[in-house]
């Protein structure tokens, strides 16, 4: 017989041990500590900063050099007009550079200063008068100023130019306005002015021509040269004697020639216009020259008008105006000395550039309506 054993209870198990990973998870969180950068990482940062600084400096240097080279270039390579520049003794390079920049002969006084320092010529810049142009580079101009050689320049006065226009031409040539005005207001002892009233200015006497002068020439010397050339032309063409045959003295001949010059440009037209003016003078008629009332209005500083109240307005005043209205050229002077034959009393400058002459007012009005639309609507 089998013994029946009672059921066995399971043996007690030892308590379950947590895994290592679980133990780690159950531990309380601790703040993470940032490790200080290693010495090698800090060195890399410094190296990158130095590279960046060097790069910026190189770029700035390249840009600065490009600017410097650009500022040494001529202001205008195509402008060869010579300008007179006077550097007084004791002028510093900075003052010289500022003056050259103000006259638009160099691009930058700073670049001028740098160049004279780099080339060591600051103490070699010499006082004197020079003839410079915007087509020269800063290097060329500095060479001028250190050479000390006497330069020449040319100045042109045009036939038909007024005294005011010639004044501006002298100022553009580099002469101070005060020096120009002093010379223009001076009284000159010259045979050219034999018949000129003492109260009259130099209008009509700056003879139209191109002249060459040393850069040291004064305004008075320039004007005297123009007077000399004018008188030579008068003498060689026997104009004083020929004016007398027209019952004009030299001053009156120059005055009438200046009106002819401003009215027409073609030589043959000038002789015929002179004939018209002489006929009107002989018959006591006003000259009726538009150029005279335009000149009179400009002297008064007002808009031109056919009714402007000026002694120069030959539309309303008979005879010659008080004096020349411009400098006449040689052909206009010769036209007054030897006018063309004819019996014309009127003329009109057509829009086509042709001068149309008439003997009667009716004929003149018809030609004016036919040929002069634009020109005749100016005033």
Whether 317 is covered by a domain: the verdict is yes
Based on the domain organization, do 262 and 350 belong to the same domain? Answer: yes
CA-wise closest residue to 272 among 364, 371, 344: 344
Q: What is the pLDDT of residue 53?
A: 83
Whether 230 is covered by a domain: the verdict is yes
Q: State whether the Cα torsion 311-313-314-316 is positive or negative.
A: negative
Based on the domain organization, do 319 and 200 belong to the same domain? Answer: no
Whether 74 is covered by a domain: the verdict is no
Token pair, residue 177, equals 């306005």
CA-wise closest residue to 256 among 211, 316, 167, 322: 322
CATH of residue 118 = 3.30.1490.480
Whether 37 is covered by a domain: the verdict is no
Based on the domain organization, do 298 and 280 belong to the same domain? Answer: yes
Based on the domain organization, do 272 and 355 belong to the same domain? Answer: yes
Q: What is the pLDDT of residue 198?
A: 93
Based on the domain organization, do 111 and 221 belong to the same domain? Answer: no
Chain-wide mean pLDDT for the chain?
89
Based on the domain organization, do 209 and 321 belong to the same domain? Answer: no
Based on the domain organization, do 254 and 222 belong to the same domain? Answer: no
Angle between helices 330-337 and 267-282 (to 10 degrees): 40
Whether 1 is covered by a domain: the verdict is no
Token pair, residue 66, equals 């490009």
Based on the domain organization, do 99 and 144 belong to the same domain? Answer: yes
**217-269 pLDDT per residue, tens:** 999 999 999 999 999 999 999 999 999 999 999 999 999 999 999 999 888 89
Q: What is the pLDDT of residue 274?
A: 98
Q: What is the pLDDT of residue 1?
A: 46
Based on the domain organization, do 263 and 294 belong to the same domain? Answer: yes
**18-76 pLDDT per residue, tens:** 555 554 445 555 555 555 555 667 777 787 778 778 877 777 778 888 899 999 999 99
Domain extent for 90: 83-149
Q: How many domains does the chain have?
A: 3
Q: What is the pLDDT of residue 25?
A: 46
**Which of 132, 149, 166 delimits the end of a domain?**
149
Point out the residues of the chain with pLDDT beneath 70. Answer: 1-40, 378-379
Whether 15 is covered by a domain: the verdict is no
> Measured between alpha carbons, how far is 288 from 365 in angstroms, rounded to an integer?
14
Q: What is the pLDDT of residue 39?
A: 63
Q: What is the pLDDT of residue 24?
A: 47
Q: What is the pLDDT of residue 128?
A: 86
Whether 13 is covered by a domain: the verdict is no
> Measured between alpha carbons, how far is 225 from 204 in angstroms, rounded to an integer?
15
Based on the domain organization, do 161 and 200 belong to the same domain? Answer: yes
Whether 344 is covered by a domain: the verdict is yes
Based on the domain organization, do 295 and 350 belong to the same domain? Answer: yes
Based on the domain organization, do 307 and 366 belong to the same domain? Answer: yes
| CA distances from residue 375 to 269, 280, 282, 331 in whole angstroms, order as listed | 17, 23, 28, 24
């Amino acid at each position: 017989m089998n013994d029946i054993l009672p059921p066995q209870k399971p043996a007690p198990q030892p308590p379950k041990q947590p895994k290592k990973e679980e133990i780690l998870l159950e531990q309380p969180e601790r703040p993470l500590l940032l490790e200080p950068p290693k010495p090698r990482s800090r060195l890399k940062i410094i190296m990158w900063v130095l590279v960046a600084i060097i790069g910026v400096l190189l770029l700035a240097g390249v840009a600065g050099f490009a600017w410097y080279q650009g500022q040494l270039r001529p202001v205008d390579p195509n402008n060869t007009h010579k300008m007179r520049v006077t550097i007084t003794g004791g002028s510093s390079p900075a003052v010289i550079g500022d003056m050259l920049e103000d006259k638009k002969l160099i691009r930058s006084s700073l670049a001028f200063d740098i160049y004279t320092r780099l080339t060591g010529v600051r103490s070699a810049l010499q006082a004197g008068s020079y003839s410079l142009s915007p087509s020269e580079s800063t290097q060329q101009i500095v060479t001028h100023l250190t050479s000390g050689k006497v330069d020449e320049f040319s100045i042109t006065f045009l036939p038909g130019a007024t005294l005011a226009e010639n004044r501006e031409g002298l100022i553009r040539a580099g002469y101070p306005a005060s020096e120009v005005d002093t010379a223009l207001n001076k009284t000159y002892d010259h045979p050219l002015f034999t018949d000129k009233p003492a109260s009259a200015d130099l209008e009509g006497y700056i003879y139209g021509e191109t002249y060459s002068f040393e850069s040291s020439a004064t305004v008075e010397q320039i004007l005297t040269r123009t007077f000399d050339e004018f008188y030579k032309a008068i003498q060689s063409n026997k104009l004083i004697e020929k004016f007398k045959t027209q019952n004009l003295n030299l001053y009156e001949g120059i005055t009438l020639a200046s009106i002819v010059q401003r009215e027409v440009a073609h030589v043959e037209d000038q002789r015929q216009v002179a004939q018209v003016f002489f006929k009107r003078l002989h018959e006591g008629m006003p000259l009726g020259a538009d150029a005279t009332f335009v000149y009179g209005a400009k002297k008064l500083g007002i808009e031109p008008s056919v009714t402007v109240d000026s002694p120069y307005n030959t539309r309303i005043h008979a005879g010659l105006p008080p004096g020349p209205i411009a400098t006449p050229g040689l052909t206009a002077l010769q036209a007054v000395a030897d006018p063309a034959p004819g019996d014309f009393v009127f003329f009109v400058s057509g829009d086509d550039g042709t001068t149309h002459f008439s003997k009667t007012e009716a004929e003149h009005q018809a030609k004016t309506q036919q040929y002069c639309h634009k020109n005749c609507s100016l005033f």
